[in-house]
Amino acid sequence: MTSGKTWLMWDEAVTGYDFGPSHPMDPIRLSLTMRLVETLSLDRETAVRSVPAAGDSTLRLVHHPDYIDAVRRSSVEPAPPAEEYGIGTTDTPAFPGMHEVSSLIVGQSVAAAEAVWRGETPHAVNFAGGLHHAMPGAAGGFCVYNDAAIAIARLLESGAERVAYVDVDVHHGDGVQAAFWDDPRVLTISVHEHPRALFPGTGWPEECGPPHAAGGAVNVAIPPGTADAGWLRALHAVVPELLEAFQPQFLVTQHGADTHVEDPLAHLALSVDAQRAAMAACHDWAHAHAEGRWLALGGGGYAVVDVVPRSWAHLVAVASHAPVDPARPVPEEWRRTVYALTRQDAPRSMGDGGTARFRSWEDGYDPADDVDRAIMATRKAVFPTHGLLA
Instruction: Give catalytic residue positions.
Output: 133
Longest alpha-carbon distance in the chain: 59
**CA atoms of 216 and 181, how far apart (whole Å):** 7
Which residue, 204, 313, 300, 314, is CA-closest to 254?
300
- Please state whether beta strands 217-222 and 250-254 pair in parallel, antiparallel, or not at all (unpaired): unpaired
Long-range CB contacts (within 8 A, 24+) of 372-379: 372/233, 374/194, 374/205, 374/220, 374/221, 374/222, 374/223, 374/234, 375/220, 375/233, 375/234, 375/237, 375/238, 377/205, 377/221, 378/205, 378/218, 378/219, 378/220, 378/221, 378/238, 379/237, 379/238
Q: Using an 8 Å Cβ cutoff, are 233 and 375 in contact? A: yes
